[in-house]
A = this chain, B = another copy of it.
Amino acid sequence: MQNLPDIALLLKNRAAEVERALSDALLPFSDEAAIARLQEAMGYALTGGGKRMRPFLVLETAALFGAEDRAMEAAIALEMIHAYSLVHDDLPAMDDAETRRGKPSVHKQYDEAIAILTGDALLTESFFVLTSYEGALCRELCRELSRAAGTHGMVGGQMMDLYPEGETEEHIIALQDRKTGALIECAAAMGALVGGASDEETAALRTYAKKLGLAFQIADDLLDVTQTAEEIGKPAGRDEEMGKATFVGLLGEDGARARLRQVNDEARAALGQVERDTSVLEALLDWQAGRTS
């Protein structure tokens, strides 16, 4: 755990860089007042804080190959997808969440129509951002991102979450692999693509990220039952209230903690196959297991 302070600082610094790049990507503001208002809402959705773990993972994976300077567009494209999914997820017809990270959600701050269009615009602009890469790389990144975010990835996971079919651990993992795991795996895959990683390195980094994503979800489930709303920045006990299948509900608190350790060990083992300086990605595992929000 000796790396924990470092990773918190690294995350904070990267988050500041990412937020600057996200704000810049919205410019210039339109002369049309209605469009400028849409851009304002996009900015609100993009700059509400958060750990920026997905762009961090894109940047730090690319950094294994000395390519972090070329990875920011991939990082913000992915964060735009994440942000759009939160805006749509919070809508009354979906999770009906009035706050997000302690602030009014987009449809409360603006209105439902603006929230729908804000999500649509962020999703669309995400692919525009990727066209800053040259042809072959742009194509690979678009393919990776559209797969991770689409029907068989994140959106599919959201459908599974809304229309649950079972409460087995297998089913929760299948759901979480798509709903949150797909974008986190995508982060590592995009960093590897920008960095020009070998197939073996890419496969190992995907496994690492997939396990990290699962660990992240288990830790989130644990936080939902052990922390207060103020500590986690959103209503606590919400999962149980919504009747959602969680790792804690299925395995109990101790069982979930044991599973979290196991998944973390599997992630660490995958990193062992990458012959690069993976100390930051290792430290990210420790930080994530110990986080309190």
Contact = CB atoms under 8 A, between A and B. Distances in A.
A117 B158 contact: yes
A120 B124 CA distance: 10
Interface residues of A, number: 58
Given A30-B156, A123-B124, A151 B35 contact: yes
A139 B135 contact: yes
A112 interface: yes
Interface stretch (A1-9, A61-69, A125-133): A125-133
Complex copy number for this chain: 2
Interface string A116-152: 1101110111011011011111110011011101111
A107 B174 CA distance: 26
Interface stretch (A37-45, A264-272, A278-286): A37-45
Contacts of A145: 127
B125 A127 contact: no
Interface stretch (A16-24, A160-168, A201-209, A210-218): A160-168
A199 interface: no
Interface string A61-87: 000000000000000000000001100
Nearest to A88: B116
Given A94-B113, A113-B93, A34 B160 contact: yes
Given A38-B151, A93-B112, 18 more contacts: A34-B159, A34-B163, A34-B165, A35-B152, A37-B163, A39-B151, A93-B111, A94-B113, A117-B158, A117-B159, A120-B155, A127-B146, A128-B142, A128-B143, A128-B146, A131-B143, A138-B142, A139-B139
